[in-house]
Structure formats: C-alpha cells, structure tokens
Structure 1
C-alpha cells in the first residue's frame, strides 16, 4: 500500500513538473510588445574585420587592407511560427551600419509578442523612399551625409561604401580601391532584399527582448556569385554593368550566426 501511495505521489509530481515546463515553452501565452536587437558582426571570409591594419587575401589573389565598410539596411519585416508577418514602420526602418563609426547594432522597438522564425530586410534605399524627395528623408538624410553615404541628393544614396588598398600579382604597389554601390535616380535600381531563417526562434514579449547576431562577410562584395577583380578596375561607382553585380553580391554577405533570447541586453 505504501508503495502504491509513493508511485501515485511521484506520478502527480512528474505531471506537475511537465505541465510547468510546458507552460514555460508555450509561446502562445506571450503578451505585449518587446524589442528585437540585431548585431551586424562584420568579418572577412571567417576572420574578424579589423580596419586599416589587417590584410585579407581573396580568391583572385588580391591582398586587401580595408579602411571602410559602411552599408544601409532597411525595411525590416519579421515572420512568426504561425506565418504572421510584422512589417516595421517604414519611416523608422532605415539604418546605417558602419564599422568605422562603430555603428554595428540596431534595435527595432514595439515588436508584437511572438515566436519569430524569419527576418527580411533590404540592402539600400528603395525607390518609394527615394521618390519622397529630400523632405521625405527626415534625419536619415543628414546621417547619410555624415557617414559619407551620399553622392548628392539628386544622385542618391550610396548603399555600400567599401574602401581600402590592395596589391596583387600585377599590382605590386599598394593601390587604392573604392567600391560605391547604390541606385541612381529611377534609371538604375540596385536595391535588393535578403530573407534569412533564424534557426533558433526569436521570442518576443513584454519581458523578452532577443538579440539576433548576423555574420557579415565582406569578402562576398568582390567574391560572391559575381567575381569583381580590382586589378581590372579598382574604382567602381556608377557602373551599369558592375553595380548590379555588386548589389547581388552584397545580399550574400548576411547569414544568421546565433540568437540570444532573454530579458535585457545581450552581447
């Protein structure tokens, strides 16, 4: 009898524990709003990006010293595990990521509670935003000018500003390279979008604010699907041929490294 009583009590205890654990994992109970932070961990072919000092060799046999890596990300949307998509407010959805200025993390506020599985964002500035004119750009226009991400208002934004010096088998003295990519009015639209599955779900609620770490591989700019050889052309700014190739490469820079779930800040 005592044995049966013990088993009965043990059964009740295990059931209670299971129910408790299940409720902790039950994201349907998530309520309110939270924030999602995104860290852009800039690197080069698996190494950390260190400006001005370290040299990186690409598959073209060119040895690069990188002095600047700055790019615009925009138009964020998040998709949850039920297929619902939250579109971040457009006027607040433009950010400059700059290794030089140590701007490598952004925060999206007011995200509805949910269990998010996917993120989508743009690289650059879309035509709808550009066609709002200078008045429609708000504070972002001034920030872009400060970060050297403008040619001029009429010419538009630089979506990517990648600069430094290089040597190669045929270029033996350190030579400056400049890769500036963007759209030019409505005639050459190089805005592109990236969609990434998070792998680990980002859990958002009034008490949960995840941090998504994106690995960013600057090697892809020259060495993505399209091969850009600096020895052939070291300065590329407005190019109907190569700018679209670079814009496609730029979308390949991004991958999800890991997701931190929890309250407060995580690094």
Structure 2
C-alpha cells in the first residue's frame, strides 16, 4: 500500500513538473536576441594576453599573445524538447581575445524556455565544400582575423600563440598552435552540447545572456596532454590536430545565465 501511494505521488509530481514547464513556455511569446558571452580564462584564472604566469604541463610557463577560435551551427533546446536551429548561413562566428570580440548574438530567437545549447567548434565539411563562393562574408572575416590558411588548406578553427619557458630552459621560445580540418582530407570539426544551470528565457521582453567559462588550459592539457617542448609549432599534424580538436570540446562550460529585460545586458 505504501509503495502504491509513493508511486502515485511520484507520478503526480512528474506530471506537475511537466505541466509547470509547459505553462511557463506558453506564457512566453514573440522573438528576441539571445547573447552568448565567451569568458576566456586559464585554469580558473582570467586570461590576460601578453602576461606571464600561466602554467601548462611539464612546468611549461606560458605567455599567451593570441587566442582566436571559430564557433558555429548553434542550436537551442527548450525544457519540453523543442529544438531551434539558428539559420546555417548566419551561424559562423569568430571569438577573438585580441580585439575583445567575445560574444555571439543570435538574432530573432523564438520565445521559449531554453534548457541547453549546442554548437560546433570550427567549420563543418558541408559548409567548406560549398567552395569559396559559398562562404559569403565569413571568408573575408576569417581572413581579417587570421583564421585562414590558403583556401585548399581551409579555415583555422583555433589560432593559439605565444611564448613559453620550461623547467630546464629559461630562454623563451615561441609557440603556434593552429588547428583546422586541412581541407576535406582531415575533418577536425567537433560539436558539443551543454546543459544550462537555469533556463534561458526568451520573449519579446526578455533577452537572456548565457555566460560560458572557457578554459584555454584545456587546449594542451585536456583529454590528451601535449608538450610544447616536444613540439612548439603544431599546424597540419595528422596526430596532434585531432587530439587538440578533442581537447577543445572540454574547454567550455556554462557558468551562469542572466535573464534580463530586452535592451539590458
């Protein structure tokens, strides 16, 4: 009898929870912008370019001068499971720590109570294989931000540069970590999905900001560990480039969501 009552209560609570979520979403209407802020850091600290004091693996001390990366193909999923896919041709953005361009603004997002966000790191093969003429304005934007090799090699998904010293070498050496798909021969595009700690509410009156904490230390010290002392220039590398691509998927987490009135940030 007690088990029956407990099961009945659980069923009621589940139905009530779904109903509340549905009712909440039905009260939201219209469209608005949704902002995604990329807060770049390093192992829990703020990332300041051209400043020493960031330690990678093997006691390598880094001075980071550049952190640029491409994010793309944004999708938002509501609490009830409805997926909004941002228009593909408009869904390619460059995060550039040097210029301070660290946010993505998704325009005209339909009203909803969004519980997760998905996006890609880099440019997918479908887009790249449209050729240079199919890239629209993004091609020139990538070139201006030094996020291109020659067209046949393709986009740089990551442009990470600076200098480093080691425990045995006090003289600074430069490093360059450029990762991309290298044309159509090696696909290093990766996608990830992140649950939000609280729903992002979009309506004609509400314009939410999703703050992502980005940990640049994961580039070299994530699922795979890479030593700059072993190789300080990583570009077209059949072994290390896919490892960096996998590391980048662990670089992002949602810190918090700010649900503000339209026009506020």
| Common fold by TM > 0.5 | yes
Structure 1 partner of 2:5 = none
The one-character-per-residue Cα deviations of 1:73-128 (angstroms, maximum 9, x if unpaired) are: 00000000110101000000000000001110110011111000000000000000
Paired residue total: 245
Structure 2 partner of 1:36 = 34
Aligned ranges 1:43-54 → 2 under 5 Å: 43-54=41-52
Distance 2:226 2:263 in 1: 39
Distance 1:256 1:54 in 2: 27
Structure 2 partner of 1:187 = 185
Unpaired runs of at least 5, structure 2? 1-19
Aligned ranges 1:1-267 → 2 under 5 Å: 26-267=24-265
Unpaired runs of at least 5, structure 1? 1-21
What TM-score do the two structures reach when normalised by structure 1? Answer: 0.89
Cα RMSD, aligned residues only: 1.4
Over 3 Å counting, the alpha-carbon distance change for 1:175 and 1:265 in structure 2 is farther
Contact 2:204 2:262 in 1 (8 A): no
Give 1:266 deviation, angstroms. 4.7
Distance 2:185 2:87 in 1: 27
What TM-score do the two structures reach when normalised by structure 2? Answer: 0.90
Contact 1:260 1:266 in 2 (8 A): no
Larger Cα Rg: Structure 1 or Structure 2? 1
